[in-house]
Amino acid sequence: MTPAGSLLAAHDLHKAYGPTHALDGAGFSIHPGEIVAVMGPSGSGKSTLLHCLAGIVTPDSGSITYNGLEMATMNDSRRSALRRSEFGFVFQFGQLVPELTCVENVALPLRLNGTSRKEAERTALTWMERLEVDDLAAKRPGEVSGGQGQRVAVARSLVTGPRVLFADEPTGALDSLNGERVMELLTDAARSTNAAVVLVTHETRVAAYSDREVVVRDGRSRDMERVV
Ligand SMILES: Nc1ncnc2c1ncn2[C@@H]1O[C@H](COP(=O)(O)OP(=O)(O)O)[C@@H](O)[C@H]1O
Ligand SMILES: [Mg+2]
């Protein structure tokens, strides 16, 4: 069953790795433009849930629908086309290509979709300006700080205009000041483009940037009432 109006919804997901039940009946749904924090202790199944929602990992059972379409009915090339055109990704570390400059990194998803270099780098720069890293365009990832690198990664995740941004512990490797700045810029950019954000985090301070929180524990999820 898909909750009315949801862009991406999952129901009763199960995923086992050998004896480990990473997901044990988890559900999830998100509306267009909504920012949902997925919280829970380490090992509870947050990343597995995100990977299933993004079509990176196939659950053993359960249903996932994107725009009302059942993911399990899509073949691999359809699912990877969906990831390239509709989804954006930010992870905790190691996501920038070290041999490329920052602007080349941000332009990469557009280049992979067949956009010319000039056009891709022009669009990349507008995103780098929004994330306040346009002055780093010619630098390589090894020459920028952790917080700057994460802002470059956020620019790259948004450059194709995704409908859903998947962020797995995006501030996990940053100090709190840089983490807050990344979250402010990420959520402003997502709100301005009406991208939904699936934000995996174990930090309450990061979850505070969301509209709603879901808690995952032992592979099961539940909506959390926020006390304001
Ligand atoms: N590829 C994998 N192979 C084996 N076990 C895995 C794999 N991915 C996750 N797990 C296990 O599944 C459980 C949930 O992991 P994960 O979803 O990464 O949790 P979280 O992101 O909440 O820390 C953990 O016990 C983890 O060790
Ligand atoms: Mg994780």
pTM summary value:
0.94
Q: Are 122 and 106 in contact (CB under 8 A)?
A: no
The confidence score (pLDDT) of residue 227 equals 56
pLDDT-based confidence at 113, cuts 50/70/90?
Answer: confident
pLDDT digits 0-9 by tens, 151-196: 999 999 999 999 999 999 999 989 999 999 999 999 999 999 999 9
How many Å from the N-terminal Cα to the C-terminal Cα in the chain? 30
pLDDT score, position 117: 97
* Chain center to CA of 58: 17
Q: Tell me: pLDDT of 228 over 60.
A: no
Distance CA 55, CA 41 (A): 23
Q: Are 195 and 35 in contact (CB under 8 A)?
A: no
Question: Which residues lie with the beta carbon below 6 Å from any ligand 1 atom?
Answer: 17, 20, 22, 40, 42-48
Rg (CA), the chain: 17
Q: How far is residue 177 from each of residues 15, 69, 130, 149, 182, measured CA to CA in Å?
A: 36, 40, 18, 15, 9
* Strands across the sheet containing 196-200: 87-90, 164-168, 196-200, 35-39, 212-217, 220-224
pLDDT tens digit sequence for 62-93: 999 999 999 999 999 999 899 988 999 999 88
Q: Which of 134, 63, 66, 55 is nearest to 89 (CA)?
A: 55
Residue to substitute in 13, 15, 20 for testing ligand 1 pocket (most ligand atoms within 8 angstroms of CB)? 20
We find that the CATH architecture of domain 1-86+197-228 is 3-Layer(aba) Sandwich (3.40)
Domain residue ranges in the chain = 1-86+197-228
Ligand 1, atom 17, residue with closest C-alpha: 45
Amino acid identity for residue 49 in this structure: L
Is residue 138 helix, strand or coil?
Answer: coil
Q: 6: CA distance to ligand 2 center in Å?
A: 24
* Ligand 1 pocket mutation pick from 17, 53, 202 by most atoms within 8 angstroms of CB: 17
- Angle at alpha carbon of residue 118, lines to 87 and 156, rounded to 5°: 25
Distance CA 124, CA 57 (A): 29
Residues with CB under 5 A from ligand 2 (ion): 47
pLDDT value at residue 160? 94
Q: Tens digit of pLDDT for each residue in 117-158?
A: 999 999 999 999 999 999 999 999 999 999 999 999 999 999
Rounded CA separation 226/42 (Å): 21
Percentage of residues in the chain having pLDDT higher than 90: 89
Residue whose Cα lies nearest atom 14 of ligand 1: it is 45
Rounded CA-CA distance 108/157 in Å is: 10
